[in-house]
């Protein structure tokens, strides 16, 4: 099967960072200079056993002891040590898309096509991605904007399948008094995050989220990443049952814009924080399609 690839990235045919190229030193400094109180908001869930996940795509979070203090002391005593230094180590098994995480640009395809004209047959291997892995995402320190749409239907949260439209985003931007600009990270609060680990069955049953038109409205403004307090940023079930995950395809494949999922945004909304400096650092797992992140906002 041969596909007609989209145009190469405006940052060149070798680019693997996508919209992260918009993160200039001045953009970072501008965001940091906006910090006034040093107050911190943790935007990440605890990753733990039982965290919501989609089967069969996502394996569970499993943690087990790999080496314990007793064995460490025994081994060091055998070497002649007398200070009984115990060591605890663990082994963790999970997919990189459990909990609060960021999607690498290589997470999605349109047929064989991947970001910047790459072909999945050449990039995706049994040992991870040859290109477009999460190690290519630089530390993201920039301005964050929180757009709260949770009460737009009169309740505390939007329901499953509720499309967050371009019009909704424009209304939320007006409320926030912060228009997205190149290099910003936009996070969207639908209120759905209240069901994370409190009612996982409901959390996974579907979700309110943006549609492709809303995503395009954001990417046209040059945002670096789009995040949400749900499992997949975009609305589920989708607008057209024949077209699944179009927001992922548009953002990751067509525009190189990152997606951040399962964010905790309650405190930002409660404190009416709409603009902040966001720190979002991806672990450099070579060839991984995403990774957990500790995202924090500072004002």
pLDDT digits (tens, 9 = 90+) for 60-118: 999 999 999 999 999 999 999 999 999 999 999 999 999 999 999 999 999 999 999 99
Instruction: Report the C-alpha dihedral over residues 180, 186, 189, 195, rounded to 10 degrees.
Output: 170
pLDDT for 3 equals: 39
Mean pLDDT of 21-34: 97
Q: Give per-residue pLDDT as tens, 174-219.
A: 999 999 999 999 999 999 999 999 999 999 999 999 999 999 999 9
**Cβ proximity of 260 and 100 under 8 Å:** yes
**Cβ proximity of 253 and 113 under 8 Å:** yes
Percent of the chain with pLDDT strictly greater than 70: 98
Evaluate if residue 268 carries a pLDDT over 70.
yes
The strand pair at 258-261 and 209-210 is best described as: unpaired
Q: 207 - beta bridge partners?
A: 236
Percent of the chain with pLDDT strictly greater than 90: 95
pLDDT for 255 equals: 97
The strand pair at 163-164 and 209-210 is best described as: parallel
CA angle (171, 23, 20) in 5-degree steps? 85
**What is the C-alpha to C-alpha distance for residues 236 and 162, in angstroms, rounded to an integer?**
8
Q: What is the pTM (predicted TM-score) of this model?
A: 0.95
Domains of the chain, start order: 18-46+96-298 (3.50.30.50), 62-93 (no CATH)
3-class secondary structure per residue, the chain: CCCCCCCCCCCCCCCCCHHHHHCCHHHHHHHHHCCCCCCEEECECCCCCCCCCCCCCCCCCEEEEEECHHHHHHHHHHCCCCCCCCCCEEEEECCCCCCCEEECHHHCCECCECHHHCEHHHHEECCEECCCCHHHCCCEEEEEEEEECCCCCCCCCCCCCCEECHHHHHHHHHHHCCCCCCCCEEEEECCHHHHCCCCHHHHHCCECEECHHHHHHHHCCCCCEEEECCCCCECECCCCCCCCCHHHHHHHHHHCCEEEECECCHHHHHCCCCEEEEEECECCCCCCCEEEECCEEEC
Mean pLDDT of the residues in the chain: 96
pLDDT for 19 equals: 98
Contacts of 292 (CB under 8 A, 6+ apart): 44, 47, 96, 98, 99, 100, 101, 283
pLDDT for 6 equals: 58
**What is the C-alpha to C-alpha distance for residues 241 and 246, in angstroms, rounded to an integer?**
11
Residue that the structure tokens 């910090």 belong to: 35
Evaluate if residue 30 carries a pLDDT over 60.
yes
**Cβ proximity of 164 and 137 under 8 Å:** no
Evaluate if residue 7 carries a pLDDT over 70.
no
**Cβ proximity of 65 and 258 under 8 Å:** no
Ramachandran angles phi, psi of 263, nearest 5°: -85, 155
Go through the chain and tell me how many residues it has: 299
């Amino acid at each position: 099967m041969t596909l007609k690839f989209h145009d190469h990235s405006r940052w060149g045919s070798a680019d693997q960072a996508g919209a992260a190229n918009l993160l200039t030193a001045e953009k970072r400094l501008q965001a940091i200079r906006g910090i006034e109180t040093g107050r911190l908001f943790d935007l990440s869930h605890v990753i733990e056993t039982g965290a919501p996940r989609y089967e069969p795509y996502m394996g569970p979070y499993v943690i087990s002891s790999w080496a314990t203090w007793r064995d460490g002391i025994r081994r060091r005593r055998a070497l002649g040590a007398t200070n009984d230094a115990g060591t605890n180590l663990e082994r963790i098994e999970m997919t990189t898309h459990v909990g609060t995480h960021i999607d690498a640009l290589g997470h999605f395809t349109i047929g064989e096509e991947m970001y910047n004209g790459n072909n999945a047959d050449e990039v995706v291997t049994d040992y991870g991605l040859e290109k477009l892995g999460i190690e290519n995402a630089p530390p993201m320190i920039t301005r964050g904007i929180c757009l709260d749409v949770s009460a737009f239907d009169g309740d505390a949260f939007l329901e499953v399948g509720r499309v967050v439209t371009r019009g909704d985003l424009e209304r939320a931007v007006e409320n926030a008094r912060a228009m997205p600009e190149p290099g910003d990270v936009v996070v969207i609060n639908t209120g759905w995050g209240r069901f994370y680990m409190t009612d996982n069955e409901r959390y996974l049953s579907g979700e309110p989220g943006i549609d492709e038109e809303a995503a395009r409205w954001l990417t046209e403004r040059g945002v670096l990443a789009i995040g949400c307090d749900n499992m997949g940023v975009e609305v589920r079930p989708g607008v057209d049952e024949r077209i699944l995950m179009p927001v992922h395809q548009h953002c990751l494949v067509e525009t190189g814009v990152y997606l951040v999922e399962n964010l905790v945004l309650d405190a930002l909304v409660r404190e009416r924080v709409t603009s902040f400096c966001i720190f979002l650092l991806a672990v450099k797992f070579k060839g991984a399609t995403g990774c957990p992140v500790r995202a924090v906002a500072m004002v």
